[in-house]
Every structure is written in structure tokens, then in C-alpha cells.
Amino acid sequence: MCLAIPGKILSIEGDDPFMRMGKVSFGGVVKDVNLAYVPDAQVDNYVIVHVGFAISIVDEEEANRVFEYLREMDELAELEDDAP
């Protein structure tokens, strides 16, 4: 099963809307994410990420709620295992 998870945008690079990339933190694990599907996303926004693409913007409360569920299921360890 694939899972989309929330992350906080730390920085954004690129002017081309189709190639705009962000450094996104997933509970401390930072990954590069394509922001083409969320052109209005800005630094400090939370986004839902699926297979390396941000697919929607969510508020901080919702993001924290999902992180809590993932902690309860011990799924955050998977992200840390994939960290570069």
C-alpha cells in the first residue's frame, strides 16, 4: 500500500513551475520534493507528499495529527531507513 504523508517545506528552489523543488521535513527527515502540483505552496507550508510529489497543502494541525498516527503505527522508522 502506498501512503501519502505530510511534510513541512523548509526551502524552495527553481523558477520553472514544473521543476520547482523543495526541501521538505518529515518529522526531522529531510527529502527533496517536486512542488509542481502545488504552485501556491510556500516555505513553512505543510504539504501531503506521495512518491516524491507534493499533491496538496494541509494545515499544521492536520499534519501533526497524521504524524501522531504514524508514530503510533511505528511507520516513521521507514522514512528514517530511506534517508540519504
- Model pTM score: 0.80
Classify residue 43: in a domain, yes or no.
yes
**What's residue 68's pLDDT?**
83
Ramachandran angles phi, psi of 15, nearest 5°: -100, -25
User: Per the structure block, which three cell numbers stand in for 2?
Assistant: 502506498
**What's residue 2's pLDDT?**
64
* Residue bearing the bigger pLDDT, 80 or 14: 14
**In the chain, what percentage of residues exceed pLDDT 90?**
57
Q: Which of 9, 24, 27 is nearest to 78 (CA)?
A: 27
| pLDDT at residue 76 greater than cutoff 60 | no
Q: Please state, as a whole number, how many other Cβ atoms lie within 10 Å of the Cβ of residue 49.
A: 23
Averaged pLDDT, 3-26: 93
State the CATH number of the domain containing residue 58: 2.30.30.140
Give the structural domain span for 64.
5-79
Provide the number of structural domains found in the chain: 1
